[in-house]
């Protein structure tokens, strides 16, 4: 999000006004809760940011990779506890980083570098896509947006639909840091969704192991690790979950 020094000077002055505005825009309901965005707000704001992201990084269209990601996303969807009124979409961005990003309100983007890492393992790819759907369904980014609205005028303007600075909001969204707990929760949701859709949930473990190996090879953390920390613990948790849940995937 826009958290640089650029915003800092504006924060003190804007803070009080922003809280009031945000409460007004949200219909004055739930201002004390951590998330006062409605699903409609999320979809609207997500769409604005998606437009900006797609201007900067046009998604791949008409390629086998794009078709594969869309097809796996479609197969997952009925088993992902889809939220009413949320138009989920699954697209590929032609960037070499190993990363995946989701926006509030439905859009999921997979970076080209992540597809290269996953190779032909559809189960692993399904687990990554389902993990991103997990973030959307648990409203992780929406909660962060809600909290940041207190100090971030740009987000409030975005909610009103007349954003001037969508570019930096989009850049912030691509590098949004989730908490460790948010990541664990999305792993659990992702594994469960993928297994229910008939994919092998061990694909998640295989993906994490490939990620670890790639980190060692390159001698530094890839992009994905910055937003998705603690790979070892995540592997342990996912393995335990698969052991105890007795999924009937692929049957
Ligand atoms: Zn994540």
Q: pLDDT tens digit string along 89-134?
A: 999 999 998 889 999 999 999 999 999 999 999 999 999 999 999 9
In this predicted structure, the answer to whether residue 25 has a pLDDT above a threshold of 80 is no
In a 10 Å sphere around its CB, with 0-12 CB exposed, 13-18 middle and 19+ buried, how is residue 163 labelled? buried
For residue 43, how many C-alpha atoms fall within 13 Å in the half-sphere facing its CB?
10
Distance separating alpha carbons of residues 36 and 22, to the nearest angstrom: 9
Surrounding ion ligand 1 within 5 Å at CB are: 183, 186
Sequence-distant (6+) residues with CB within 8 A of 30 are: 36
Give the residue-averaged pLDDT of 171-185: 81
5 CA to centre of ligand 1 in angstroms = 26
9 CA distance to ligand 1 middle (Å)? 31
Higher pLDDT, 213 or 251: 213
Distance from the CA of 118 to the center of ligand 1, in angstroms?
A: 16
Grade residue 215 by pLDDT with cuts at 50, 70 and 90. Answer: confident
What's the 186 CA to ligand 1 centre distance in angstroms?
6
Question: How high is the pLDDT of residue 145?
Answer: 80
Of 23-37, 61-75, 125-139, 171-185, the range with the lowest mean pLDDT is 23-37
The vertex-172 CA angle with 171 and 174, nearest 5°, equals 65
CA of residue 12 to ligand 1 center, whole Å: 31
Q: How many CB atoms lie within 10 A of CB 152?
A: 24
Kindly list the domain boundaries of the chain, sorted by start residue: 5-245
DSSP annotation of 59 = B
CA 235 / ligand 1 centre spacing (Å): 14
pLDDT of residue 165: 62
CA distance 21 to 171: 24
Question: Are the C-beta atoms of residues 99 and 147 closer than 8 Å to each other?
Answer: no
């Amino acid at each position: 999000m826009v958290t640089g020094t650029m915003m800092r000077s504006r924060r003190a002055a804007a803070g009080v006004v922003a809280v009031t505005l945000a409460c007004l825009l949200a219909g004055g309901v739930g201002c004390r809760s951590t998330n006062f965005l409605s699903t409609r707000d999320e979809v609207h704001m997500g769409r604005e940011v998606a437009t900006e992201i797609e201007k900067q990084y046009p998604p791949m269209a008409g390629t086998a990779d794009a078709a594969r990601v869309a097809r796996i996303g479609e197969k997952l969807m009925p088993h992902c506890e889809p939220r009413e009124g949320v138009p989920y979409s699954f697209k590929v961005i032609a960037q070499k980083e190993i990363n995946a990003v989701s926006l509030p309100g439905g859009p999921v983007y997979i970076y080209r570098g992540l597809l290269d890492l996953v190779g032909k393992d559809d189960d692993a790819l399904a687990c990554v896509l389902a993990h991103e759907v997990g973030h959307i369904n648990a409203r992780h980014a929406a909660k962060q947006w809600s909290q940041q609205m207190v100090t971030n005028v740009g987000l409030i303007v975005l909610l009103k639909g007349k954003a001037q600075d969508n570019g930096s909001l989009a850049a912030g969204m691509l590098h949004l840091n989730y908490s460790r707990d948010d990541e664990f929760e999305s792993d659990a949701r992702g594994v469960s969704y993928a297994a229910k859709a008939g994919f092998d949930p061990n694909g998640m473990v295989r993906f994490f192991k490939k990620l670890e190996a790639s980190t060692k090879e390159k001698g530094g953390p890839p992009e994905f690790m910055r937003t998705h920390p603690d790979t070892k613990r995540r592997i342990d948790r996912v393995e335990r979950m698969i052991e105890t849940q007795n999924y009937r995937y692929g049957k």
